[in-house]
């Protein structure tokens, strides 16, 4: 893979000047920050094409589940075990290669990384139906899925790292908010319509024998849309090189060496680059705060996944709500509405609020909701709580991304984001396993209450300490 995408000047400079002059006198400054990003051509092409790709990602996941259910019925597969293996396959690339992906993406041209990864995913996903129909070998599908998600790891690392190259620094909060907004809509549509698409019998009329295979074909098409958008950006954008003066000497991109030569030296330098990224995280309070907040986010996610889902599914005789899996989908849909609304609104008003306070207050609200759920016996009482949880969850993701975009230098941005994804996936898997084991000794309701209370106590304590020691974290924006 080729050279580094650069930061000598923002990709959007040609659009940035005229757009801000045009709109800022007309509407309040805070709102103009959000509306301004909608007029940045490259950013809009990027965000909309990626929303189509994300829709395809969710559709692909639904197609995999439908495929497993089909062959479980036809060939006697154990669907529960097959799905558990699939869940492992999805997270395994990040756990194994997360930090390495950041090192490599920091060396390469990020636009070309995005185009290459989605081009490969286009081909691989389209071949899944052909391979499984011809061989009925689920392990081959696992292998392809692992490769698809491995390309997805590099793609997501480059995608997160490239946003500051598309908008000016003062637009980052609005840009992340809009990206989060369209991403939430795509996720909701992918999950909601995915189940309909993979079961739609109309596919038989146009020559697609198995309806679930249509999900893979549409996903492949969505990656094509992503590639097309990225090619348009690349064709109209200069390829910038990293300003080496801004990079610590130890972390400068490595000069190319002949193939198979100096392998040991390359490995050592790669380890050194990772060590530099970890030192940067440890010594930079703003970044360390973001990584610490991931632990709270994981507690919330693991509790919802392991504890709340069974509570919704379980019959009332077992202290559940008794609404089955459809109830889980309904709660997720209501929560997604909150996610979408807060993604848009936070981009408009978020400039007025400290980002770290936004994260901490959101965690307090989410913790209170988790602690309150065991006190309700009605499923319908859970719905407004799910909506409120969605409202306060999006600002957490947006604020975290914006802090990293504002603070982290271009040269190590990929490593920081890939390390964050690695920590998130690894801690989520460990937390789910731990919470699942604790259910052998405590009820799900008690564990949910304890998890929520723990989040509230930690977040409140941190706010109190911040008020007493205002220099703990210098970023007050």
Q: Domain with 362 in it: what CATH number?
A: 1.20.1250.20
Q: Are residues 160 and 284 in the same domain?
A: no
Q: Are residues 218 and 309 in the same domain?
A: no
- Please determine, for residue 26, whether its predicted confidence score (pLDDT) is greater than 70: no
- Please determine, for residue 364, whether its predicted confidence score (pLDDT) is greater than 90: yes
Q: Are residues 283 and 237 in the same domain?
A: no
Both tokens assigned to 305: 């996944």
pLDDT computed for residue 381 by the predictor: 83
Contacts of 288 (CB under 8 A, 6+ apart): 281, 282
Q: Are residues 208 and 290 in the same domain?
A: no
When divided into structural domains, the chain yields a total of 2
What is the average pLDDT across 193-203?
A: 71
Closest CA to 343 of 168, 191, 176: 176
Percent of the chain with pLDDT over 90: 6
pLDDT winner (highest mean) among 55-59, 227-231, 441-445: 227-231
Q: Which of 196, 218, 242 is the last residue of a domain?
A: 242
pLDDT computed for residue 79 by the predictor: 53
Q: Which of 242, 260, 292 is the last residue of a domain?
A: 242
Residue pair 294/423 in contact by the 8 Å Cβ criterion: yes
pLDDT computed for residue 11 by the predictor: 44
- Please determine, for residue 105, whether its predicted confidence score (pLDDT) is greater than 50: yes
Residue-range definition of the domain harbouring residue 110: 13-242
pLDDT computed for residue 123 by the predictor: 92
- Degrees (nearest 5) of the Cα angle 114, 115, 121? 90
Does any domain span residue 258?
no
Q: Which of 196, 215, 242 is the last residue of a domain?
A: 242
pLDDT computed for residue 265 by the predictor: 54
Q: Are residues 298 and 199 in the same domain?
A: no
pLDDT computed for residue 130 by the predictor: 86
Q: Are residues 223 and 283 in the same domain?
A: no
- Please determine, for residue 418, whether its predicted confidence score (pLDDT) is greater than 80: no
Q: Are residues 189 and 137 in the same domain?
A: yes
pLDDT computed for residue 195 by the predictor: 62
Q: Are residues 40 and 172 in the same domain?
A: yes
Higher per-residue pLDDT: 310 or 424: 424
Q: Are residues 353 and 429 in the same domain?
A: yes
Percent of the chain with pLDDT over 70: 74
Higher per-residue pLDDT: 126 or 350: 126
pLDDT computed for residue 7 by the predictor: 39
Tell me what the pLDDT averaged over the chain comes to.
Answer: 75
Residue 92: CB atoms within 10 A of its CB come to 18
CA 387 vs CA 182, 321, 337: distances in Å: 18, 18, 7
Residue pair 215/197 in contact by the 8 Å Cβ criterion: yes
Higher per-residue pLDDT: 26 or 91: 91
Does any domain span residue 250?
no
Q: Are residues 238 and 285 in the same domain?
A: no
Split at pLDDT 50, 70, 90, the class of 166 is: confident
Higher per-residue pLDDT: 321 or 475: 321
Split at pLDDT 50, 70, 90, the class of 3 is: very low
pLDDT computed for residue 8 by the predictor: 35
Does any domain span residue 196?
yes
pLDDT computed for residue 17 by the predictor: 36
Residue 456: CB atoms within 10 A of its CB come to 18
């Amino acid at each position: 893979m080729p050279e580094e995408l650069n930061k000598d000047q923002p990709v959007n400079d040609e659009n940035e000047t005229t757009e801000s002059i045009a709109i800022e006198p007309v509407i309040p400054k805070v709102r103009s920050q959000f509306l301004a990003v909608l007029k940045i051509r490259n950013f809009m092409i990027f965000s909309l094409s990626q929303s189509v790709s994300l829709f395809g990602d969710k559709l692909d996941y639904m197609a995999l589940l439908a495929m497993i259910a089909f062959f479980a019925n036809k060939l006697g597969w154990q669907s529960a075990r097959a799905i558990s293996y699939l869940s492992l396959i999805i997270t395994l690339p990040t756990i194994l290669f997360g930090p390495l992906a950041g090192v490599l993406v920091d060396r390469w041209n990020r636009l070309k990384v995005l185009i290459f990864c989605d081009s490969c995913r286009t081909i691989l996903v389209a071949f899944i139906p052909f391979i499984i129909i011809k061989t009925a070998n689920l392990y081959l599908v696992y292998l392809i899925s692992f490769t698809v998600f491995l390309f997805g790891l590099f793609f997501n690392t480059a995608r997160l790292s490239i946003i500051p190259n598309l908008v000016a620094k003062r637009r980052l909060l609005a840009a992340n908010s809009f990206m989060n907004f369209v991403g939430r809509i795509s996720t909701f549509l992918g999950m909601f319509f995915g189940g309909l698409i993979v079961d739609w019998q109309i596919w038989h009329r146009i020559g697609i024998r198995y309806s679930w295979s249509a999900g893979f074909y549409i996903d492949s098409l969505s990656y094509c849309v992503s590639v097309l958008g990225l090619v348009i950006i690349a064709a109209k954008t200069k390829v910038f090189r990293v300003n080496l003066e801004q990079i610590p000497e130890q972390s400068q991109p490595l000069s190319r060496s002949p193939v198979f030569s100096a392998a040991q030296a390359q490995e050592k330098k790669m380890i050194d680059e990772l060590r530099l990224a970890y030192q940067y995280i440890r010594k930079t309070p703003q970044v360390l705060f973001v990584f610490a907040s991931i632990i709270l986010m994981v507690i919330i996610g693991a509790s919802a996944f392991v504890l709340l889902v069974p509570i919704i599914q379980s019959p009332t005789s077992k202290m559940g709500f008794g609404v089955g899996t459809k109830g889980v989908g309904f709660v997720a849909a209501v929560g997604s509405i909150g996610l979408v609304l807060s993604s848009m609104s936070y981009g408009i008003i978020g400039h007025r609020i400290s980002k770290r306070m936004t994260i901490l207050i959101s965690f307090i609200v989410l913790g209170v909701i988790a602690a309150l759920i065991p006190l309700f016996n009605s499923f319908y009482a859970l719905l407004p709580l799910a909506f409120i949880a969605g409202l306060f969850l999006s600002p957490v993701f947006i604020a975290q991304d914006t802090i990293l975009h504002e603070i982290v230098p271009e040269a190590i941005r990929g490593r920081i984001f890939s390390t964050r994804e690695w920590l998130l996936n690894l801690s989520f898997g460990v937390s789910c396993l731990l919470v699942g084991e604790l259910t052998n000794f405590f009820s799900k309701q008690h564990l949910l209450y304890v998890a929520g209370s723990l989040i509230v106590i930690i977040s409140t304590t941190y706010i109190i300490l911040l008020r007493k020691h205002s220099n703990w974290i210098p970023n007050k924006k």
